A and B are shown apart, each in its own frame.
Chain A
């Protein structure tokens, strides 16, 4: 079945630096790739998503890139701030099928 691998499991970056989290998926028919952010003790929330008909999407300091050939997609956060500290989850789905989730990346922003 579909599998999503997410790396790294923990990422520590200096405030102001960039952070990149990578995910790979196994099912080439996947066409929807959201990223969710879960701050400590809070609920996961969608921060950005991308569909397979585009290669990149940007929203202020966050961007997602998709490489369909290699079956991987990445989350990029620039100019990181303390409030970016959270667990980030990637996911993939095809059509109207269930989302398959990555294991999460704990992002730590060092002051």
Chain B
């Protein structure tokens, strides 16, 4: 069974440009999460989808970040325009059970470097 896949694995862009990250969750997992880890710091929650609906987007830093999950399958996270502080590793995870109640299955992450 395929795990959670993320694309791209690494993206280097200049400040002010746009980047779109994609996540394909495990088939059948209704719950999809986006997290971010800045180097050496904790994994920070960004948002949580249940199917195509945003269940909790309290972790989104600002309106430069837009997440979508049309059709309840894959999800995209767009950063526009990117700033230096957006650099980090963006993880996607999916689960069958709801947040905080069971195992999360992570992707390998998308490393974003903003120059």
Q: A residues within 8 Å of B by Cβ?
A: 4, 6, 9, 32, 34, 36, 41-46, 49, 89, 91, 93-104
Contact yes or no, B41 A93, CB < 8 A: no
Contact A98 B108, beta carbon cutoff 8 Å? no
Contact partner of A98 among B4, B41, B45, CB < 8 A? B45
Which 5 A-B pairs have CB atoms at the shortest separation, nearest pair first?
A93-B100, A101-B43, A43-B106, A103-B42, A101-B42
Partner of B100, one of A46, A97, A102, A104: A97
A45 touches B99 (CB 8 A): no
Q: Are B44 and A101 in contact (CB under 8 A)?
A: yes
A102 to B98, CA, bound (A): 20
Q: Give chain A residues whose Cβ lies under 8 Å from the Cβ of B109.
A: 43
| CB neighbors of A among B18-52 (8 A) | 35, 40-45, 48
Residues of chain B within 8 A (CB-CB) of A32 are: 100-101
Which DSSP category, helix, strand, loop or mixed, fits chain B's interface? loop
- What are the residues of chain B within 8 A of A95 when measuring CB–CB? 100-101
Please give, as numbers and ranges, the residues of chain A lying within 8 Å of B41 by CB-CB distance.
103
What residues on A are CB-neighbors of B44 within 8 Å?
101
From B42, B99, B108, give the contact of A104 (CB < 8 A). B42
- Chain A residues near B58: list those with CB within 8 A: 98
CB distance B101 to A102 under 8 Å? no
CB distance from B53 to the nearest CB of A (A): 15
Known A43-B4, A96-B98: A102·B103 in contact at CB below 8 Å: no
Given known A42-B108, A43-B4, contact A4–B42 (CB-CB < 8 A) = yes
Give the distance in Å from the alpha carbon of A103 to the alpha carbon of B44 in the complex: 9
Q: Interface centre among A34, A98, A100, A101, by most B CB within 10 Å?
A: A98
In the docked arrangement, what's the CA distance between A98 and B108, Å?
A: 20
Closest to B98 in A: A96
Instruction: List, in ascending order, chain B residues with CB within 8 A of A91's CB.
Output: 43
Chain B residues positioned under 8 Å from A93 (CB to CB): 99-101
Residues of B within 8 A of A103 (CB): 40-42
Whether the Cβ atoms of B107 and A98 lie closer than 8 Å is no
Q: Which of B44, B48, B99 has the most CB of A within 10 A?
A: B99
